[in-house]
């Protein structure tokens, strides 16, 4: 919008815009031009968060600058309209003056060609001397009136010309304010576009890194799942641990409690953490509540050294997460939204709050 208005007024050239562009880019710190190469996910996430904050601040600054530009542009439009009106008035006065001068010139030529015969003609065309004086005075007054009218028109012309100079100066000064406001707005827009480009680049890098991390996590999970199944190869098929491993890959969903027990119907089968342990234990005729803290409170507490496959491991204080111990530093659980039932390392958790056992 600013560039369009500048083009309309004809006061800012492409070269001026180019200078503005270079100046605005020079104002930007070198570190903001692009993301730091080789940054990890945490670093890029911090950069993206800062870029988002910068964009928010620049959006507010741009809104203020835009309103400031709009204000001075409204004033400029009003002054420009006044300039146009003044010039139209001046044109009319000059035309009127020219017309009056032409009338006087024609009368002067007539008097020059006819000498003083014009007064004789007046005398010959009068009924008496009084009529002559009246007619002669009328002719004189007409001529004098024309001269006075020309003088007044000239005075009006001079006054309007002075007004035009004053208004034109106001227009020039206001145009300067418009250019300043527009330049500021333009610089903010450059910074905003640069920040948006940076954020888009960072987001693309973050998505790539996330995809890489997710792929690495899936590979790690698959390896750990396979290791858990290998470690339990000598455990009877009807054990709690082996039964729980049959549900590897089932989606996590809050309040999920098994087949047909997904609260939104989004999945045919889903589990949350305590829903998984409740469901597996129920297959063995052991009823436990669908709540991690209640399962912990009702269980028989054992130490890590005493723990065996099928015992429950609890996390948090009070407990808010639960899984089933598999032995060899592994447990199976339904972790969180967006994840699936999988095997994890017990040693990777720093919030183990206890181990519990149930029996019929």
Summarize pLDDT for 68-86 with one digit per residue, the tens: 888 878 888 888 887 787 7
Top pLDDT among 97 and 210 is at 210
Q: Residue 9: which residues within 8 A CB-CB, separation 6 or more?
A: 76, 175, 178
Q: Which pLDDT value is given to residue 116? A: 42
Q: Report the percentage of the chain scoring pLDDT > 70.
A: 72
Selected from 1.10.1200, 1.10.287, 3.40.630, 1.10.10, the CATH number assigned to the domain covering 2-214 reads 1.10.287
Least confident of 10-14, 224-228, 257-261, 319-323: 10-14
For the chain, give every domain's residue range: 2-214, 238-357
Where does residue 237 rank: exposed (0-12), middle (13-18), buried (19+ CB within 10 A)? exposed
Q: Which pLDDT value is given to residue 97? A: 67
Q: Which pLDDT value is given to residue 247? A: 96
Top pLDDT among 275 and 71 is at 275
222 with 38: CB under 8 angstroms? no
User: Which CATH number applies to 238-357?
Assistant: 3.90.1720.10
> Using 50, 70 and 90 to split pLDDT, how confident is the model at 15?
very low
Per DSSP, helices labelled H in the chain are: 2-9, 14-27, 41-114, 117-124, 129-231, 240-245, 273-283, 292-298
What mean pLDDT do residues 117-132 have? 52
């Amino acid at each position: 919008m600013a560039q369009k208005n500048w083009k309309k007024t004809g006061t800012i050239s492409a070269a001026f815009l180019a200078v503005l562009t270079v100046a605005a880019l020079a104002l930007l710190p070198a570190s903001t031009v692009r993301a730091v190469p080789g940054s990890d996910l945490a670093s890029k996430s911090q950069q993206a968060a800062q870029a988002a904050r910068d964009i928010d601040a620049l959006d507010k600054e741009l809104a203020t600058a835009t309103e400031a530009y709009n204000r001075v542009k409204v004033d400029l439009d009003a002054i420009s309209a006044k300039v146009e009106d003044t010039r139209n008035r001046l044109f009319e006065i000059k035309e009127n003056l020219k017309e009056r001068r032409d009338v006087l010139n024609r009368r002067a030529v007539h008097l020059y060609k006819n000498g003083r015969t014009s007064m004789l003609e007046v005398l010959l065309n009068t009924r008496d001397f009084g009529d002559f004086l009246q007619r002669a005075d009328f002719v004189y007054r007409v001529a004098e009136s024309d001269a006075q009218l020309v003088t007044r028109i000239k005075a009006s012309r001079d006054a309007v010309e002075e007004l035009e100079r004053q208004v034109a100066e106001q227009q020039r000064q206001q145009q300067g304010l418009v250019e300043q406001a527009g330049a500021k707005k333009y610089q903010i827009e450059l910074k905003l576009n640069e920040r948006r480009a940076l954020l888009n680049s960072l987001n693309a890098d973050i998505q790539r890194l996330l995809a890489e991390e997710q792929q690495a996590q899936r590979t790690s999970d698959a390896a750990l799942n396979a290791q858990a199944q290998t470690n339990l190869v000598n455990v009877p098929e009807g054990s709690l641990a082996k039964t729980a491993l049959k549900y590897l890959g089932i989606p996590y969903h809050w309040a999920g409690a098994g087949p047909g027990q997904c609260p939104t119907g989004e999945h045919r089968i889903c589990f949350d953490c305590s829903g998984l342990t409740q469901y597996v234990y129920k297959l063995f005729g052991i009823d436990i509540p669908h709540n991690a803290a209640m399962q912990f409170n009702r269980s028989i507490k054992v130490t890590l050294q005493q723990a065996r496959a099928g015992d429950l491991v609890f996390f948090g204080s009070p407990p808010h997460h639960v899984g089933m111990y598999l032995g060899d530093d592994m447990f199976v659980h339904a972790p969180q939204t967006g994840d699936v039932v999988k095997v994890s390392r017990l040693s990777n958790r720093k919030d183990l709050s206890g181990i519990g056992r149930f029996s019929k």
